[in-house]
Structure 1
């Protein structure tokens, strides 16, 4: 399942910096609109963008987005430098549960140009939408005080190292301590100050 890669990488790479190409408030409104349209299954605002699903070219008309979704939880990240957003949707609907991660790219004027979705459901690695919902709603995603924030370059390097680890096991990832990973519906942390993310992948 993709969730540990997407969630950590998105968190590390989609950050708000002072010199921005897109306004933070504009991106916030765009993600709110995206979530609202998913509740209704409306795709008119998405239909002009290039769309990929699970790394394959597709069409929004034939995608999971073309149906109403009962969203139990959503969280969005906003990258004003790249004019991009990332939104996680958790759907525990017993008829068809999903965990969906979607990155959208915009022009500085707010025109949607590209949508990349990773859609997981029953049969995917460690898939458990109920478990994902339980742990995701307990995570603290409040803003980091500005004085404690790393630079964009440092954060991006950490994300790149994490992704490189999947193809090169000798890659050194700058994990923090304590650290926990949400793998599908399973959480690796025990609430201890020594919790580590340096686990076998």
Structure 2
């Protein structure tokens, strides 16, 4: 009997594993909700759900993002099986308001179908360097496909480089601690810079960029960090990075 109970416990743990497939399925349900402009199909926790929009708690049902259906021109998602979270980028260039959405979903570790947190940076007309059509053109040309397993950056390196980038405004040595790819591209809102390892901040601010929330996906060599960009003015912000060959290949920011 004791052995049977042990086997059942092991099986329960195995079935509770946070899977990449489950995380991406939940992300797809979020994309479907944005497309339809309805909450139907989103399995939100009935006891422990929070919606954050631009770093503040809000009512998801009354959010401007879901007030009407959005025509989606580009979307892609990444998955973090350690944190049981996903990151989804959405670009919508048409409609009453164009949007670029940077959203992290979080789940209890035993159920990727249940969402406990929708955490989104919602940029629209008037946001920093906002031009959805220009951003779409830059991002459509990029490759965010899986990286060969033997070449994937570690979780530790992804977080290290993401943090170092956000530290550049307060730490004069942070930029030099990052390896930059020769063909690295940086898209800030709609502004395009290549290579992206030039014209970087070297300290000067006394306010670190805080409220950092991470989604790290070694499979595609990416880390997304939602934060408050306090170094230049308390702006809700998403910074996403892709590493290839241990060097930064892409930087993409969404700032309100």
Q: Could you state the TM-score of these two structures normalised by the residue count of structure 1?
A: 0.81
- The answer on 1:123 being equivalent to 2:126 is yes
Separation in 1, partners of 2:66, 2:103: 10
Aligned to 2:94: 93
Question: Contact 2:70/2:95 (CA < 8 Å) preserved in 1?
Answer: no
Question: Contact 1:47/1:61 (CA < 8 Å) preserved in 2?
Answer: no
- Backbone CA RMSD of aligned residues: 1.9
Q: What aligned pairs does 1:16-165 form with structure 2 within 5 A after superposition?
A: 21-44=17-40, 45=42, 48=45, 49-63=49-63, 64-108=65-109, 109-110=111-112, 111-165=114-168
Between 1:23-32 and 1:167-176, the stretch displaced more is: 167-176
Aligned to 2:181: 177
Structure 1 unmatched runs, 5+: 1-19, 190-194
State the structure with more CA Rg: 2
Q: Secondary structure at the match of 2:144?
A: coil
Question: Contact 2:34/2:70 (CA < 8 Å) preserved in 1?
Answer: yes
Q: Could you state the TM-score of these two structures normalised by the residue count of structure 2?
A: 0.64
Higher relative contact order (CA 8 A, sep 6+): 1
Large movers: runs of 4+ above 6 Å: none
Separation in 1, partners of 2:144, 2:19: 20
- After superposition, the C-alpha distances for 1:68-106 in whole angstroms (9 at most, x for unaligned) are 111111011111111000101101015211111100101
Structure 2 unmatched runs, 5+: 1-15, 202-256
